[in-house]
Amino acid sequence: MAPRYNHTTKGSDLVAELADNIKGKTILITGASPGGIGALYAAAVARASPAFMILTGRTIASIEATAQAVAQANPAVKTKMVAMDLGSLTSVRTAAREIMSDDISHIDVLVLNAGIMAPPYSKTADGFESQFGVNHLGHFVFANSVMPKVLNAKSPRVVVVSSNGHRLSPIRWGDIGFQDGKVYDKWSAYGQSKTGNNLFALSLATKLGSRGLQAFSLCPGAYMSNLIRHLDLSENGDALPSLRAADERLGTPASIPNLNIPFRDEETVIATHVLVSFSDDIRPFNGQHFTTCAVAQQDRDEVLPWANNAIEAERLWRLSEDLVGEKFAY
């Protein structure tokens, strides 16, 4: 794909450019709470008149302000709020049943945007390390559970929000739980979960591409959202030295010798979200990872081989099915 866009591309410009592809669509966004990229994306896309937006968050109260922002951007857009805690598979399945039992006929674009980043060690309600459980397994169950309505769309698309943080770890096949927390490293755990996001998008494209499904993963870029506000990014804080140490253990280039994170603003951080959700130009790249509004390149370390491998993707699918106790056969 020709590099028509770059790190300065604005989300609002892409919304205007892709307005015909947005108009009339039904869009479901996980992690739509204010202060995050999902909320910014929802309000921006609303201006191009999608028919319906389904917003999920841990509680209804946590996403009411986003629904109001959508209404302010475009009062004609219908919204539905659904409570879903990705750290509880019971909550995930309840939310999916609500969506499947609703009179929503189809979902054109499913944006798996929610996530957590580098918290202290904890477990989900189902006993999984929290980042792998929330960022990957919760979305794995939810997306597959609502997939019948996604496949009802004329041109269905799934967008999995990952990160260049996938560079920090492949899937730890022998120990996804870090020995029950004994050897936990918050950045390695984050990297493992983001690798899982990339591989999930690749699996969906592989398994369902013949039925018209497009699936992509993306890195939106760094943004001072609720996702990272708990991290101490000061010169004397723990976050950056521990991130640098994680990179140095693997020999990845991002933090050697110095870590320099260019933060995006509200406009540029949603640009890749918008492009990957609605552009027709990216259709030849089904299953691929996107960064800075372009297909990520392995020769520039924008996507690591362990996060773009069909064998690894299928292995993770089977492991995920075993962990959640549910099979999704296509």
Tell me which residues are annotated as active site.
162, 190, 194
- Joined together, the tokens standing for residue 9 give 């591309």
Helices (H) and strands (E) in the chain, counts: 11, 8
List the end-to-end C-alpha distance of the chain, in Å, as a whole number: 29
Q: Which residues of 292-301 are buried (b: 16+ CB within 10 A; e: fewer)?
A: bbbbbeeeee
Distance CA 54, CA 62 (A): 14
DSSP secondary structure, 102-123, as one string: SS----SEEEE-----SPSS-B
Residue-by-residue DSSP string for 130-192: HHIIIIIIIHHHHHHHHHHHHHTSSS-EEEEE--GGGGG----TT-TTTGGGTT--HHHHHHH
Residue type, 131: Q
